[in-house]
Structure 1
Amino acid sequence: MDSSEFRNPHVARNYDPLPVMLTRGQGAYLWDVEGRRYIDMMSAYSAVSLGHAHPRILSVLTEQAQRLAVPSRAFCNDRLASFLEELCDLTGLDVALPMNTGAEAVETAIKAARRWGNRVKGIANPEIIVAEGNFHGRTTTIISFSSKNEYRDGFGPFTPGFRAAPFGDLAAFEAAVTPNTAAILVEPIQGEAGVIVPPDGWLAGLRRLCDKRGILLLLDEVQSGLGRSGTWFAFQHENIVPDGVTLGKALGGGVLPVSAFVAKREVMDVFTPGSHGSTFGGNALAAAIGLEALHVIRDERLVERSKELGARMMQRLHGMRMPAIKDVRGRGLWAGVEMDPRYANARDVCEGLIAKGVLTTSTHDTVVRLAPPFVISQDDLDLALDAVQETIATFKTPRDVSDSVAGADQHLEA
C-alpha cells in the first residue's frame, strides 16, 4: 500500500505515517480497513498502556459522559478530588494540578519552577537546566530548549531561560548550576531520543545536587510513568522522590488526553487563582477516566506485568546478535533497538514488520521502538519478537548509505 494514498489534501502534513490504515483496536491488537489484524508494539507512545478499548475504561467513559462531562473549573465537580488524591498517594507528593496533554503538564512545571525561583528564591530571571536530547513536547517554549534542529527550524524566536547538559552526566549538570538556577527538568529515561537509560545512580545524584544547591528536581514521566519502566514511576528505581513530576499518556486510559503536574506543596503553592488554568483540564470525565486508569493498573497488576514481560523482551532482544543491530536499550516493557545505518534504517524495519502483522514506529530513523500494551499475552509478545528478529535478519549485507543522513523521522510522537 503506497503511503501517498493517505495524503488527503485536507490533512496537514506534520506526520508521515506508515502505510497502514487502522479502523479498530482491542487489547493488544489493531485491525486495518481490510480486516487484517496486527500486534500493537507501540501503544501510542504509552498512551494505550492499558490496551485498546479496555472494558472498565469504556464503562466509566460511557457512564460518566452520560452524567457529567465538562462543567468548567469555574465550578467544582464530584470526580476531581479523589483522582488527584490518588495521584498524590502514588507519587508521594502533596498537590496535583490537572491538565490535558503531556506538553501542557510540562508547561505547568516550567511555570511553577519559574515562579518558585522568583518568589521563593528571589531570582529575577530564573533558569532551568535540561538534558541534551530531551523531548518534552512541541510547544514554543519547550522546543526552545530542544537540542534537535528538526523541532526548532523556522519556529523562532525562542524562549530564553534554559541551559542544557549531557543526559546522564552528573558532573556536567553540577557545573551548569548558577545562582540563577531554579530547577532541573529531565526525563528519567529519554524516550524520543531512542529509549536512553541513564547510568545507575544518576537520578539519585541529581536529587543530592538539588538538595545541596536548594533547587527543584522536576521529572517528566509522561512516557516512563505509570508502569512503563517496570515500576509505577521510573524515579522509584533509585528510591528518590522528586519535587515535581509530570504525568500523562496512560493516565487517559487510551481514550482521552489526561495529564497532571504533581508536586510538593511549597512548589504548587506558587499558583493562585487566575495564574494558570485550562478549560478542559480536570473536567469530570477526564478525572473519572484517570482514576479508573490508576485502578486498572493496580487491580490487574500491570506494573508487575510490565516488569516480568519486559525482562523477557530484553532477554530476547539482547540475544538477537545480528550485524544490523548496533545496540539494545530499555527498562520494563520499553525497548529501543538501534540499527546500524550501514545495514538498515529503522523505518525500513518498521515497514517490513507491517507485512508480518506487527506495528511499531521508529525515532529519527535509527531506533525501532518497542512498547506494547501491558495486557499483551506472552505468546503474542513472542510472536512479535519473532517478527522483529526475522525482519532485521533480512538486512544482512551493507547497503549504500552515501546519500543517507541521520535525519529526523517525520512520524514523530504526539
Structure 2
Amino acid sequence: MGERNDELLERYQRSVMGVFGLPPLVLDHGSGCHVWDVDGNRYLDLVGGIAVNALGHGHPALVTAVSKQAAEGIHISNLFTSEVQIALAERLLDIAGAPEGSAVFLCNSGAEAVEAAIKLSRRTGRTGLVAAEGAFHGRTTGALALTHKPAYRQPFEPLIPGVTHVPYGDEAALRAAVTEETAAVVLEPIQGEAGVLSPGTAYLRTAREVTQEHGALLILDEIQTGIGRTGTWFAFQQAGIVPDAITVAKGLGGGVPVGGLIAFGDHNAHLLTAGQHGTTFGGNPLAAAASLAVLETIESEGLLEHARVAGDHLADAVTALRHPLVTGVRGAGLLRAITLAHDVAPQLAAAARGAGFIVNPVAPAAIRLAPPLVVTLEQLDSFVDALPALLDACAPDSADTTHTTHTPAPADTPEDPR
C-alpha cells in the first residue's frame, strides 16, 4: 500500500506473535466512519473493528467521557466499586428489559463473558452444554469448547467435555439434544463469524421452550448482535423471549475493552456467589464510563432506528444492482453479509481496499459489513456505487459479469431470499 506501511509490517513480522497472520494495513488514525493508514490513504470503514466501533472513530461523546474518566481514575480494582460501574450495570439491566433481581458481571472481553456463562451453567449442578454448528464463542479454552470450527479446536483438545453441537436452525435436532443432563443451550441469535447466518425468530422461541421443559438455561451470545447492531438493543428482543443470560462485549465500549454477562431473574443472578468468579480489570471506571457514553449516544442519536433503516437501505441497494456475482444480502440492521456466487470474497475485499473501502471476507463466498452505527446512507451508497466494478474485477472468467449488463431492479423488488 505504501513504503511506510511495508516498513512497519516488516517490523510487525519480527516482533508480534503471528496468530493473526500478516495484516494488510497499518492504520494510523480515524475520524467518524473513515480511517487512514500510515501512508495517508483514506478508507471507509465498513467493518467497524468487527462490530466494535459502534460510534465510529473519535466520536466527541466517547472522547469526552474517556478523557474525563482518565483524569479522575482509570482503575480501582474490585476490592472497591465506583458509581460509574453501578450506573452501567443498572443501564444494561434496563435496556435488556431484565426482570427484578437480575444482575450483571462486568469483564473485559467477549470470551471472558462466555467463560463466566459456562461457570454460571455449572452452578445448576449439570455439566452438559448444547451449542450450534458454525458457532463462534471465543478462543479461550472454555469458550473454545462451544466454538465449532475444527481448525480452532483440534490443536487444543481435549477441551471441556459434555458439549454437543447441533445443526444451526434445526429445531428437531435441538429438541433431541436437550435432556435432563443439559446445563445450558448456548446460541448466537445471528452467527456472525459463520457468515451472518440467522436461524429465524421461531428457532429462538423453540430454544426457549425446550430449555424450560428440561430445566436448562438458555444463554444467548449477543457479543456481536447486541448494543443496537441489529436494530434493537439486543437481537433476542426481536424474538419476544426472555433468556436466562446473555453475553455482551464488542460494541458496548465503542472500542474500549469491556464485556459482560447479564443474568436474568433472581435465581440465575445468584448462581455465582462470592469468590466463585472474578476479574482484575472488569468494570473498571474507564471502561464503564466509555460504555455509558456509548449507550447514551445510541439512545440520544436514535441509532437503533437508524441501524434498521440504514441496514435495509444497504440490502435493497445491493440487491437492486442485480449483479450476477451477488446471490443475496442477509442479516439484520447493520450486521449484513453480501453472498456471492463464487468463492471470491478475499479478492473482493482486496479490491475494495484498493478502492478505499474496508470490508471483511467472513467466508469464501460472503463479505461481512458491520459499519459504525453512525454510518450515513450517503456513505453506504458510495460503497454500493463502487461495488459493480469491484465485483467485475474479481469475477471468475466463466461468469458473465460485464458492468454493462447491470440493470437496476425495480424499486419494489424483494430481497433475494437465497
CA contact (8 A) 2:137 2:146 kept: no
Partner of 2:49: 44
TM-superposed CA distance for 1:15, in Å, is 1.2
2:76 corresponds, among 71, 78, 103, to 71
Per the alignment, residue 407 of structure 1 pairs with none
Structure 2 distance, partners of 1:65, 1:13, is 32
Cα displacement (A) at 1:17: 4.8
Cα-to-partner distance string for 1:20-55 (whole Å, 9 max, x where unaligned): 221011110101112121100001111101111111
- Equivalent position amino acid for 2:83 in 1: D
The aligned counterpart of 2:376 is 377
Equivalent residues in 2 for 1:76-225 (5 A)? 76-93=81-98, 94-115=102-123, 117-118=124-125, 123=126, 126-225=127-226
TM-aligned CA deviation for residue 200 of structure 1: 3.9
Residue identity in the other structure for 1:107: E
Q: Structure 1 pair 200/244, CA: closer, same or farther in 2 (3 Å)?
A: closer
- In structure 2, the partner of 1:230 is 231
CA contact (8 A) 1:324 1:395 kept: no
Task: Give the TM-score normalised by the residue count of structure 2.
Answer: 0.89
Deviates more, 1:205-214 or 1:40-49: 205-214
User: 1:78: Cα distance to partner?
Assistant: 2.2
Residue 30 of structure 1, aligned match among 31, 35, 40? 35
1:301 & 1:257 partners in 2: Cα distance?
Answer: 24
Q: For residue 185 of structure 2, give the secondary structure of its aligned residue in structure 1.
A: strand
Are 1:59 and 2:64 matched, yes or no?
Answer: yes
Distance 1:385 1:100 in 2: 35
- Separation of aligned partners in 2, 1:347 and 1:292: 35
CA distance in 2, matches of 1:396, 1:322: 11
Contact 2:179 2:214 in 1 (8 A): no
Partner residue of 1:243? 244
Residue 347 (str. 1) matches residue 346 (str. 2): yes
SS at 1:245's partner residue?
strand
Once residues 273 and 382 of structure 1 are traced to their aligned partners in structure 2, the CA distance between those partners, rounded to angstroms, is 52
Percent identity, please: 38
The equivalent residue for 1:403 is none
Distance in 2, Cα, partners of 1:385 & 1:309:
13
SS at match of 2:155: coil
Matched residue SS, 1:330? strand
- Quick check: 1:323–1:396 contact (8 Å CA) kept in 2? no
Shift of 1:399: 6.5
Aligned to 1:323: 324
SS of residue paired to 1:144 = helix
Displacement of 1:18: 4.7
Classify the secondary structure of the residue corresponding to 1:201. Answer: helix
Size of the aligned set, in residue pairs, is 390
Provide the residue aligned with 1:357 in structure 2. 356
Aligned to 2:416: none
Quote the Cα distance in structure 2 between the aligned partners of 1:151 and 1:388. 32
Shift of 1:320: 3.4
Q: Who is 2:291 aligned against?
A: 290
Match of 1:259 in 2: 259
- CA displacement, residues 74-120 of structure 1 (integer Å, 9 cap, x when unaligned): 112222111101100111221111010011011111110111x21xx
Pairwise CA RMSD: 1.8
More helix by share: 2
Residue 258 of structure 1 aligns with an amino acid whose one-letter code is: V
Q: Could you list the per-position Cα deviations for residues 282-333 of structure 1 after superposition, in whole angstroms to 9, with x for gaps in the alignment?
A: 1111111111111111111111110010110111122233332344211111
Tell me how far apart the structure 2 counterparts of residues 286 and 160 of structure 1 sit (CA, whole Å): 34
TM-score normalised over the length of structure 1: 0.90
Distance 1:331 1:303 in 2: 12
**Mapped partners of 1:270, 1:322: distance in 2:** 52
The runs of 5 or more residues in structure 2 that have no matched partner are: 400-418
The residue type paired with residue 232 of structure 1 is W
Counterpart of 1:386? 385
Stretch of structure 1 that moved more, 13-22 or 273-282: 13-22
- Cα separation, 1, equivalents of 2:309 and 2:22: 31
8 Å Cα contact 1:322-1:393 kept in structure 2: no
Q: In structure 2, how many angstroms separate the alpha carbons of the residues matched to 1:269 and 1:379?
A: 48
Alpha-carbon distance change, 327 to 379 in structure 1, aligned in 2, over 3 angstroms? closer
Structure 1: distance between partners of 2:335 and 2:145: 27
Higher relative contact order (CA 8 A, sep 6+): 1
Give me the whole-angstrom Cα distance separating, in 1, the residues matched to 2:295 and 2:315.
26
* Distance of aligned partners of 1:87 and 1:137 in 2 relative to their CA distance in 1, 3 Å threshold: same
Alpha carbons 1:329, 1:337 under 8 Å: kept:
yes
How far off is 1:389 after superposition?
Answer: 3.0
Partners of 2:214 and 2:272 in 1: CA distance: 23
